[in-house]
Amino acid sequence: MADLFSLDGKVAMITGGSRGLGWAMARAMAEAGAHVVINGRDGATVDARVAELAGDGLAASAAPFDVTDANAPGEVAGVAARLGRLDVFVANAGIVHRGALDDVTIDDWRRIIDTNLTACFTLAHAASRAMVKQGSGTIIMMGSIMGGIARTGVPAYVASKGGIAALTRALAVELGPAGVTCNAIAPGYISTDMTADAEAVPAFDALIKQRTPLGRWGRAEEIASVAVFLASPAASYVNGHVLTADGGLTVAL
């Protein structure tokens, strides 16, 4: 049974993999046996993460670039060419802009949609070419419970994550016949550097704990374990699914 969850021999690329959920997923996949390719905008931070994994005897390499750059798809293709294959691609890089609707500019909107949705499409498309050629692979999109519900103050983020859920289904249908699966993870409220400001607000912290049946915020490693499952042979017949990991928040009144 343990072999079903092994990533031995696989190459896994994680965008936004040097911090937060991306870093947790990168480490978890490396520990499961994958050679992980860590992407991030800051080359020094990416290199430090690669060195950290290497110091633990794990296989990793760096791919520093901005996912919204026009040449970013070529960077993904380059990884597949350099390492000879690409088995797992995790579209994790994302941003959020918090503010009232009247304060959201068209530039804010475009920046979030470009990062959270458009880049996921262009890079997953690039990854899929290598996967289709080798006849196997899996794409994992980082969604959110905000893809199915909403709260005030983050309209562009909500729209981008709703788009991720739809894109996941579209790619699953498109790529399935070639042996490539596509699924998404929809985390609830997870303690990371991206959510630190919100978690630090006592009233909001109390609200999340009250609304969540498990009574707490999630941990990054609890999302990383979901990613390892979706990347592994254990999930070989899971395709087009958005896996919610929110402690029960979205099923509670």
Average pLDDT on 76-101 reads 95
The pLDDT, as a whole number, for residue 135 is: 97
Q: Examine residue 213 and state whether it is found in any structural domain, yes or no.
A: no
Whether residue 198 lies inside any domain: the answer is: no
216-244 pLDDT tens trace: 999 999 999 999 999 999 999 999 999 99
Choose among 96, 89, 120, 109: nearest CA to 14: 89
Question: Quick check: is 33 in a domain?
Answer: yes
In a domain, 206, yes or no: no
Radius of gyration from C-alpha coordinates of the chain: 17
CATH number of the structural domain spanning residue 121: 3.40.50.720
> Domain limits at 42?
2-192+219-248
- If one counts the domains in the chain, the total is 1
- Calculate mean pLDDT across residues 209-214: 97
Cβ atoms 184, 235 nearer than 8 A: no
Order of strands across the sheet that contains 11-14: 60-64, 35-40, 11-14, 88-91, 137-142, 180-187, 242-245
Residue at token pair 């309209």: 155
The pLDDT of residue 15 is 98
pLDDT class for 253, splitting at 50, 70, 90?
confident
Catalytic, out of 65, 89, 157, 217: 157
d(CA 206, CA 74): 44
The C-alpha atoms of residue 40 and residue 246 are separated, in whole angstroms, by: 26
Band of the pLDDT at 2, cuts 50, 70, 90? low
Determine whether 237 is an active site residue. no
pLDDT top residue among 134 and 195: 134
Position 202 in a domain:
no
Is 116 a member of any domain? yes
In a domain, 107, yes or no: yes
Q: What is the pTM of this model?
A: 0.96
Spatial contact of 22 and 92, defined as CB atoms under 8 Å apart:
yes
Please report whether residue 214 resides in a domain.
Answer: no
